[in-house]
Chain A
C-alpha cells in the first residue's frame, strides 16, 4: 500500500527565511511521481512542483525546490526567501503507475509566515 506522511502539522517562519517542509513516502513501486500542492484559505489546490522517481536531479520551480532522497524515501519541499503570501496549507502527494492513476495526499502542513 502507498502512504504519504507529513509530520509537521504546523510551522511558523520569519519572512525572508528559508523553510523546509518534510514529506516521507512509502511504496513498493519503482515508477512513481511526487508532488507538492499549496492550498490557501480560498480552498483551491495550486500545483507547485513535481519529481519523477527516475529523475536524477532535484526539481526546482522558482523559489521552490524538492529535496529528493530516494533511498530514504523523502521528498521535502524547500521554499527559499519566504513571503507573507506563502502562508497556506501544503500537501505532499504521490502517484504510482500501478494505483489506477489516483494521487494520494499527506495530511498537510500549515505554514504561517511572520512579518
Chain B
C-alpha cells in the first residue's frame, strides 16, 4: 500500500510569488490535513479537508488556501509568499476519527 505522497520535495520561491504543494492520501482515506513546521518548532495546524470540503482551518491568513479533489488528493496554495513562510509543510491523511494520521515526507519550502 502506497503511503501519503507529497510533491515537490523541495521548493524555492521568491518573496511575493505563489507556491503550490500537492498531497496524495493513502488509498481509502478521505481526510487530508496540512501542517506547517517552521525550523526548530512544532507543528501548527493549517487546514483540514474531508470529502472535498474544507472542514477546519488554523490561525493562518487567507493567503493560505487549498482544495481537495474528487480523488481526495489535495493542494495547498500559499499566495504572496513571505520570508516567514519558509518551513516544512506536512500533509497527513486518515479515514477514522478515532485514530492518528499517516504523514507524508513533507515539502520543504524556502522563500528567498
Q: How far is the CA of A37 from the CA of B99 in the complex (A)?
A: 13
Q: Which of B16-46 contact A (CB under 8 A)?
A: 31, 33, 35, 41-43, 45
Determine if B101 and A103 form an interchain contact, defined as CB atoms under 8 angstroms apart: yes
Residue of B nearest to A44 (CB): B105
**Per-residue B-contact encoding for A25-41, CB less than 8 Å = 1, 0 else:** 00000000101010000
Q: When the two chains form the complex, which single residue of B48, B99, B101, B106 contacts A100, counting CB atoms closer than 8 Å? A: B48
Q: What total of A-B pairs shows CB separation below 8 Å?
A: 60
Determine if B100 and A95 form an interchain contact, defined as CB atoms under 8 angstroms apart: yes
Complex interface: chain A residues within 8 A of B42 (CB) = 91, 105-108
Q: Is B90 close to A, CB under 8 A?
A: yes
Determine if B97 and A45 form an interchain contact, defined as CB atoms under 8 angstroms apart: no
Determine if B101 and A47 form an interchain contact, defined as CB atoms under 8 angstroms apart: yes
The secondary structure that dominates the A interface is strand
Determine if B102 and A47 form an interchain contact, defined as CB atoms under 8 angstroms apart: yes
Interface residues on A, range: 20 to 34
Determine if B43 and A105 form an interchain contact, defined as CB atoms under 8 angstroms apart: yes
Determine if B92 and A45 form an interchain contact, defined as CB atoms under 8 angstroms apart: yes
Q: Is A64 close to B, CB under 8 A?
A: no
The interface on chain B, measured as residues whose beta carbon lies within 8 A of the other chain's beta carbons, has a size of 26
Q: How far is the CA of A50 from the CA of B108 in the complex (A)?
A: 27
Q: Is B55 close to A, CB under 8 A?
A: yes
Complex interface: chain A residues within 8 A of B90 (CB) = 43, 45
Q: How far is the CA of A68 from the CA of B11 in the complex (A)?
A: 40
Complex interface: chain B residues within 8 A of A95 (CB) = 100
Query: Could you tell me which A residues sit within 8 Å of B by CB distance?
Result: 33, 35, 37, 42-47, 50, 52, 91, 93, 95, 97, 100-108
Closest 6 CB pairs of A and B: A45-B103, A100-B56, A44-B105, A105-B43, A107-B42, A43-B106
Query: Could you tell me which B residues sit within 8 Å of A by CB distance?
Result: 31, 33, 35, 41-43, 45, 48, 50, 55-56, 58, 88, 90, 92, 97-106, 108
